Amino acid sequence: MFIIDTLLLSPIYGTIWVARQVQQAMEQEEEAEPEQITAQLSELYMMLETGRLTETEFDAQEKDLLDRLDRIQEQHHHSGKTGR
């Protein structure tokens, strides 16, 4: 009887496994996002220093990145997660 139950429920077990893998991948990506934003900010500073960006372009892009970083930090604060 247990073998039949396992066979009948295997599609559900597979779906649950896939959902857990997707959730885990999303969490890993979410955890890496602040580091990615910091790297993008460093690149922006370099582009400004080398003249590849104007001050106006830099300011707009920097604001967007800092806003994203603030939102992430707020989400972590509200969800009880702590930063590194």
Q: Domain residues of the chain, as ranges? A: 2-79
By C-alpha distance, which of 69, 32, 62 is closest to 44? 62
- 3-class secondary structure for the chain? CHHHHHHHHHHHHHHHHHHHHHHHHHHHHHHHHHHHHHHHHHHHHHHHHCCCCCHHHHHHHHHHHHHHHHHHHHHHHHHCCCCC
Decide if pLDDT at 34 tops 60.
yes
Residue 64 has pLDDT above 80, yes or no: yes
Confidence of residue 43 (pLDDT cuts 50, 70, 90): very high
pTM: 0.61
Residues 6+ apart with CB under 8 A from 61: 44, 53
Residue 50 has pLDDT above 60, yes or no: yes
What pLDDT score was predicted for residue 20?
95
pLDDT mean over 57-82: 87
Among the residue ranges 21-35, 51-65, 70-84, the one predicted with the least confidence is: 70-84
